[in-house]
Amino acid sequence: MEETQRPCKRVVDSQTEQTYLMRPNYLNCYGNLFGGQLMGWIDEIASIVAMRHCEADITTAAIDNLNFKEGATVNDVVVLRGKITYVGRTSMEVRVDTYVESRHGIRKVINRAYVVMVAVDEHHHPIPVPGLIVESENDRAEWEGGEKRYRLRKQRRKEGF
Ligand SMILES: CCCCCCCCCCCCCCCC(=O)SCCNC(=O)CCNC(=O)[C@H](O)C(C)(C)COP(=O)(O)OP(=O)(O)OC[C@H]1O[C@@H](n2cnc3c(N)ncnc32)[C@H](O)[C@@H]1OP(=O)(O)O
């Protein structure tokens, strides 16, 4: 959240959207979007959001909550939207929502993932990231959820996984 000691940026400063027209090479053998392909896209957009926020190199520390609620097939339009929800000292949580979009622009959720990215220097050591300016009620709710997940991940690491 906002701190006087470090620079702060807004959620919108790094928000990113990426759109794909589904091609045969994105599909699995059943003709649906291949899960590994989607994971690669999620990791890529989360990386871009995090790099835009911290203006440095990043590495992926964790990906949570991959649920596939809808499929997508050839000629569908798939949209990924990524935004920062929470920042620690050197880590950033990015929420990535994936949708399949109809020809009329109606979006159905395929997946929601939370990705933890860590800013690193040239020696791959974690470095501090800018704080996050929480501007809306929505940003605040995301921040509070992110804070809980941050603590939970720390606890899980203490317990050994
Ligand atoms: C034709 C079709 C092709 C399709 C094709 C598809 C292919 C299918 C692709 C799938 C794609 C999947 C997505 C791969 C994504 C990668 O590529 S994962 C592999 C890349 N990542 C790595 O190698 C990272 C390895 N880990 C590390 O280098 C270190 O653990 C880290 C992350 C830099 C952390 O360093 P550390 O020494 O543990 O530092 P420490 O001070 O303890 O922690 C630093 C911060 O990280 C946080 N942190 C550390 N560990 C964790 C953790 N496990 N969880 C959360 N936060 C953590 C800490 O809380 C801390 O945050 P702050 O409190 O400062 O905010």
Cα(66) to centroid of ligand 1, in Å?
Answer: 16
List the domain boundaries for the chain.
6-157
Cα(16) to centroid of ligand 1, in Å?
Answer: 20
Short-list 118, 114, 125, CA closest to 60:
118
How far apart CA 94 and CA 160 sit, in angstroms, is 24
Confidence tier at 4 by pLDDT (50, 70, 90) = low
Summarize the confidence of residues 66-83 as an average pLDDT. Answer: 92
Residue 1 has pLDDT above 90, yes or no: no
Q: Whose CA is nearest to atom 15 of ligand 1?
A: 60
Are 77 and 19 a contacting pair, CB within 8 Å? yes
pLDDT single digits (tens) 98-115: 999 999 999 999 999 999
Using CB distances shorter than 6 Å, the residues near ligand 1 are: 25, 36-37, 39-40, 43, 59-62, 88-91, 116, 118, 120, 124, 126, 153-154, 157
The minimum-distance atom of ligand 1 relative to the CA of 157 is: 53
Q: Whose CA is nearest to atom 13 of ligand 1?
A: 43
Residue 151 has pLDDT above 90, yes or no: yes
How close are the terminal C-alpha atoms of the chain, in Å?
A: 27
**ipTM rounded to 2 decimals:** 0.91
Cα(14) to centroid of ligand 1, in Å?
Answer: 20
Report residue 136: phi and psi, to 5°.
-130, 170
Q: Whose CA is nearest to atom 19 of ligand 1?
A: 60
How far apart CA 136 and CA 143 sit, in angstroms, is 10
pTM of the model: 0.93
Domain 6-157 bears CATH identifier 3.60.10.10: no
Mean pLDDT of the chain: 94
How far apart CA 121 and CA 142 sit, in angstroms, is 27
Report residue 61: phi and psi, to 5°.
-100, -35
Which DSSP state fits 62? Answer: E
Cα(90) to centroid of ligand 1, in Å?
Answer: 12
